[in-house]
Amino acid sequence: MKILGHRGIPVLYKENTLQSLFAPFSFGADGIETDVRLTKDGVPVLIHDETLTNFCGTDVRVRDLTLAELREYKSDGETVPTLEEFLKFAPRNKCLNIEIKEYEAGELSVLICRKFYEGEIIFSSFNHHLINELKEKYNGLKFGYLFDEQHTSMSDEEIFALFDKNTYSAHLPVVGLLYFPERLLNIIKELKRREIKIVLWTVNDKNDIARISEYVDYIITDDVRIFL
């Protein structure tokens, strides 16, 4: 089981800043998960939310700012990093889970990651159409589908159909084990039978996965120290 820091280690530092993203490696983490959006001038940057409200208290959209303008906003001295600058300094041969938040950021993120990083990279998104397109075009790279409450109306057959070709992983919310444990466990078992990797997010208590740990390949956590 690989341990990935959720946006770094947000219990210690502002999420998705370079300080937060690099810190999990010092505790022995196998990798990190981070989020990619585009600035107004088309630069992939690492931030989860559409706006800077959570980052620095300013209600302005990332996509409405150029990179130069975005650099003017700081949180405790930290700016929103670009994908490229993180990749250039990230430890080699670790696992990076790159969550693509916007369709427009998809292919560019893949190209930049291939250029600047040597190590395991899993590209994931809640936008299943985007993942369908990328996995068709970039055969051999690792792609995964993210699921949350918006996908509960999908049938099991519709879910399994996503994994028929060139799909590496399923990214499932650990909270699902609380609300529909039997269904989620059955889905996990079938995906494992199909040799699909299981990624659980966001796991902050060992007890949450104690009974299914044998099926889990990656966990994403706010505090890697819990598991290391």
**Is 129 one of the annotated active-site residues of the chain?**
no
Catalytic residue among 6, 128, 129, 151: 6
Query: Helices marked H in 27-95 — which ranges?
Result: 53-56, 67-70, 83-89
Catalytic residue among 48, 128, 151, 171: 48
Q: How many CA atoms lie within 13 A of 228 on its CB side?
A: 20
Between the two ends of the chain, the Cα-to-Cα distance in Å is 11
5 strand-pairing partners: 32, 221
- What is the C-alpha to C-alpha distance for residues 8 and 124, in angstroms, rounded to an integer? 16
**Is 171 one of the annotated active-site residues of the chain?**
no
Q: How many other CB atoms sit within 10 Å of the CB of residue 196?
A: 20
Q: Check: CB of residue 84 under 8 Å from CB of residue 44.
A: yes
Catalytic residue positions, numbered: 6, 48
